[in-house]
């Protein structure tokens, strides 16, 4: 199954090293990151909780994160054509 997950976050902690967070995001599956603080991940068998468990060690307790499965058939917005093509695959 080709599940897609939207991951959005607010990284608020000054002087926190978020390198591990972004590396973990990129290692979850095929990713798209066109919007600031928003990633879409596909090509993974992980659940939202499992994704969170991989990301949580790399963020502070003052940060916020939301991970939801999306249905790319129900979408609207204004993005470059390449973004729509990626979402449709």
The 10s digit of each residue's pLDDT in 39-65 is: 999 989 999 999 999 999 999 999 999
Q: Does residue 18 carry a pLDDT above 90? A: yes
Q: pLDDT at position 42, please?
A: 92
Name the pTM for this structure.
0.88
Task: Return the CATH number at 76.
Answer: 3.30.70.240
Domain residues for the domain of 67 are 4-88
Nearest to 24 by CA among 79, 83, 62, 67: 67
Q: How confident is the model at residue 73 (pLDDT cuts 50, 70, 90)?
A: confident
**What is the number of structural domains in the chain?**
1
Q: How confident is the model at residue 1 (pLDDT cuts 50, 70, 90)?
A: low
């Amino acid at each position: 199954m080709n599940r897609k997950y939207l991951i959005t976050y607010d990284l608020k902690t000054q002087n926190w090293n978020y390198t591990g967070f972004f590396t973990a995001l990129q290692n979850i599956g095929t990713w798209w990151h066109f919007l600031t603080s928003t990633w879409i991940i596909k090509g993974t068998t992980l659940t939202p909780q499992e994704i969170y468990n991989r990301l949580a060690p790399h963020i502070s307790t003052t940060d916020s994160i939301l991970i939801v499965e999306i249905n790319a058939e129900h979408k609207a917005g204004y993005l470059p054509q390449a973004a729509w093509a990626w979402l449709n695959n």
